[in-house]
Amino acid sequence: MSGTPNRLRLVRAGIDTYQQPVVYMHRNCSVCRSEGFNVLARVHIQCGGREVVATLNVITDDRLGADVAGLSEAAWNALQPEADAWAVFSHPEPPQSAPALRAKVFGRRLNEQNFLDLMRDTADNRLSDIELAAFVTACAGERLDLQETIGLTRAMLAIGQRINWGGGPVLDKHCVGGLPGNRTTPIVVAIVAAAGHRIPKTSSRAITSPAGTADTMEVMAPVGLDLASMRRVVEQEGGCIVWGGNVRLSPADDVLIRIERPLDFDSDGQLVASVLSKKAAAGSSHVLIDIPVGPTAKVRSAKSADSLEARLLATARDLGLTLSVLRTDGRQPVGYGIGPALEARDVLSVLRVNPDAPRDLRERALDLAAALLDIAPDAEPGSGRNLARTLLDSGAALKKFLAICEAQGGFTEPTVAPHRAPVLAIHGGHVRDVDNRRLAKVAKLAGAPISATAGVDCRLRIGHTIRAGEPLFQVCAQTPGELEYALDYAAKNADIFGIAEDAP
């Protein structure tokens, strides 16, 4: 839109508003007056060759001059202005995707072009948090059908970069999550790369859990690699485990995750689009999906798993990916630790073939590595399991893992939390069930994943017996305040472990 250029000098406000760009202007500044901007208005800012749409917060005291606009960190990073730069302020064009958003909110089906408009506006920060929340909600539950899921996946894929590995199979695995401590990825990548395959793994940070694979891996090696560095690691070692955020394989998904995190939900359609757009963008050709099923896992029943599996398979087919699903036991945590450093300790323990390594984590990593090796081209069906065990027990996987860490920037041994306290059983009996969600909540209240050493250390499993006064689990925290919050919550939720009193 044209109009009289309205200019203000840009300053860095020094305020971190996470990803949403915010601009701070004085109520009486020339731009607010001439453009009629009011609080929460969306403002288009152009400076040099860059532009951003920011949300207006109004300064009511005399801190800012009338010819100056402050930028939040996200807005500053988007514009990267030079010192004392002037910018032009105007009303943004309404986002091109506004009619599609409105249509979806009112329950109508969208086509691929609609999703393309929406994902482009999402990645370009043209939608406000409120609009993004409306989109996420309008797609939740059963509100995206298969064709829409495919459309959303293709749209997410289309607007990001896509890695070309120059031919040959590219393996990958993904767990749909929901199971505390289930940190098989570093072990599987190490085994599969040690077998000579290419497995460039990008992982997310925690969305609603106490740790994502990227959070856990970061305890042991740098994960914030850009695409060029990631390519160098994979060309050298065959595999990597890096954070997907800097690779920007699905930039719209990164924005949507920011909205889903505080809402603490995501839905089948969005999950499939998020996972498969990233796999296709990463150049993967053969993908194994781990779906843990259990009453308090993300996928709670065989029926839900059927529906998710069907949607994954159909969408993968559309994208030309070979995809296989392995359903795993999702009734209880895997490994001892829940939280980045505690999980890293378990991963290393399995790779080092320590006698006290968590057996469930070892077996599950072997199952997944085997299933992935089995779908690789030219694999002899059923040969994967033996190959995986040999590579792990011989130390080849450990060697490969350490080489990957070195290539990513150097290996670091995990440390332990300074504050620890046990949560004790009130009465004895045998363990009947575990509420994964509330156990994860304890780890989150203890500070995970932001505090890397925080979390829960838990060796109790379904079927084990325990006596009153014995520890159910340990809580680990970086600060006394967080330890107390987590213990408070645990005390109020004494039934996280369901203990059946044994018959006399």
Q: Which residues are catalytic?
A: 266
Q: Which of 51, 124, 129, 435 binds its own copies (CB under 8 A)?
A: 129
The region of 1-9, 342-350, 374-382, 432-440 touching its own copies under the rule CB under 8 A is 1-9
Decide if residue 102 touches its own copies (CB under 8 A): yes
CA distance 185 to 232: 20
CA distance 438 to 432: 16
Decide if residue 451 touches its own copies (CB under 8 A): yes
Secondary element (H or E) of residue 47 = strand 42-47
Q: Which of 105, 207, 402, 494 binds its own copies (CB under 8 A)?
A: 105
CB of 156 to its own copies, least distance (A): 20
* 2 close to 34: Cβ distance less than 8 angstroms: no
Number of residues that bind its own copies (CB under 8 A): 68
Q: How far apart are the first and last CA of the chain?
A: 81
The region of 58-66, 233-241, 319-327, 466-474 touching its own copies under the rule CB under 8 A is 58-66
Decide if residue 447 touches its own copies (CB under 8 A): yes
Q: Which of 39, 310, 416, 500 binds its own copies (CB under 8 A)?
A: 39
Decide if residue 207 touches its own copies (CB under 8 A): no
Structure tokens at 311: 């949607």
Q: Which is nearer to its own copies, 71 or 249 (CB)?
A: 71
Angle, in degrees to the nearest 10, between helices 98-105 and 112-123? 110
Q: Which amino acid is at 267?
A: S
Identify whether 449 is preceded by a cis peptide bond (ω within 30 of 0): yes
Q: What angle do CA 164, 271, 201 make, to 5 degrees?
A: 35
Q: Which is nearer to its own copies, 373 or 446 (CB)?
A: 446
CB of 79 to its own copies, least distance (A): 16
The region of 9-17, 117-125, 271-279, 349-357 touching its own copies under the rule CB under 8 A is 9-17
Q: Please tell me whether residue 87 adopts helix, strand or coil conformation.
A: strand
Q: Which is nearer to its own copies, 58 or 193 (CB)?
A: 58
CA distance 48 to 21: 17
Angle, in degrees to the nearest 10, between helices 396-408 and 185-194? 110
CA distance 221 to 224: 9
Q: Which is nearer to its own copies, 336 or 485 (CB)?
A: 485
Bridge partners for 23 per DSSP = 56, 71
Site of interaction with its own copies (CB under 8 A)? 1-4, 6, 12, 14-18, 24, 27, 33-36, 38-40, 57-61, 63, 72-73, 91, 98, 102, 105-107, 128-134, 136-138, 140-143, 259, 262-265, 267, 445, 447, 450-451, 454, 478-482, 484-485, 488-489
